[in-house]
Amino acid sequence: MKLKRQRAVRRHFRLYCVHRGLREPYKVLIDGNFLHAALQMKLGDLKEEIPKLLGGTCKIGVTKCITTELRSLGESFAPSGRASKKTDHFRCTHMNPVPAVECVEALVGEDNLENLVVCTQDANLKGRLMKLNSCVPVLFVSAHGLQLEPPSESQKKQFEQLTAAVLDVPKHEKLKASTAEGETTQKKKKVKGGANPLSCKKRSHPEPEKAEKAEKATTGEVPTVEGKNKRKRQRGNKKRGDPTENGGAVEAA
């Protein structure tokens, strides 16, 4: 179950990273009640646990207003006050300390320009942050350890609008596509069937000279060259040793 919860947290946090442009190191703001709950649950070092949950390096910090509020809460929150001193401090614009909830809301603002990840146990603050258009990721402590608040319905709708805006085709591209479709429909379609024009072409007869040469080649006769008389050797049926070979007649004995 722990592995399934971690996968769900990674999947939800990836939505914030894609649509809100969160990049490492993630800037994590911790308020006093979250720090106190983490110490009560003995979650260990938050500088190791939070990056392990989010899957990346983090820059964790508090503000001067949060530290001042922890000191004013008495001895029960003294360990949390000492832990806040060891944590990095983010700059806030308050000259005089204000309640931690107001300080967190002032740092986040309406647009969350610093891409903050807020860690809080305050249910009212959590609800107000989840309704913002800036889509602020919220972490909290439960009996199962650190958890990431799943995206609210308003955040899911905003994610869908952002994806639609990214995938939307510009107007000039739509005009080009429509004109291209009109041109393709106007083009004539090729008519299938019909005789091949090459097959209808008449067969050409060979020239008489070429035909005569071809015939002689098949019969074995040697072609003669016009204009020249060549001597042909005449061969008879006479056998070698015939007395009539030299044209003389043999006298009878």
pLDDT, greater one: 81 or 3: 81
What pTM was computed for the model?
A: 0.61
Cα-based distances in Å from 213 to 208, 209, 221: 9, 6, 9
**pLDDT of 154:** 72
pLDDT, greater one: 248 or 69: 69
User: Parallel, antiparallel, or unpaired for β 138-142 and 145-148?
Assistant: antiparallel
**pLDDT of 144:** 83
**pLDDT of 58:** 93
Cα-based distances in Å from 190 to 43, 92, 194: 75, 74, 11
Q: pLDDT digits over 59-112, tens only?
A: 999 999 999 999 898 888 999 989 998 899 998 888 888 999 999 999 998 888
| pLDDT higher than 70, residue 178 | no
| Distance from C-alpha of 60 to C-alpha of 128, rounded to nearest angstrom | 22
pLDDT band at 175 (very low <50, low <70, confident <90, very high): low
Cα-based distances in Å from 71 to 4, 135, 191, 230: 38, 31, 89, 134
pLDDT, greater one: 207 or 23: 23
Lowest mean pLDDT among 18-22, 163-167, 192-196, 200-204: 163-167
Q: pLDDT digits over 219-241, tens only?
A: 655 555 555 555 666 665 555 55
Helices (H), the chain: 2-20, 32-41, 46-54, 64-71, 78-85, 100-108, 123-131, 153-167, 171-186, 208-219
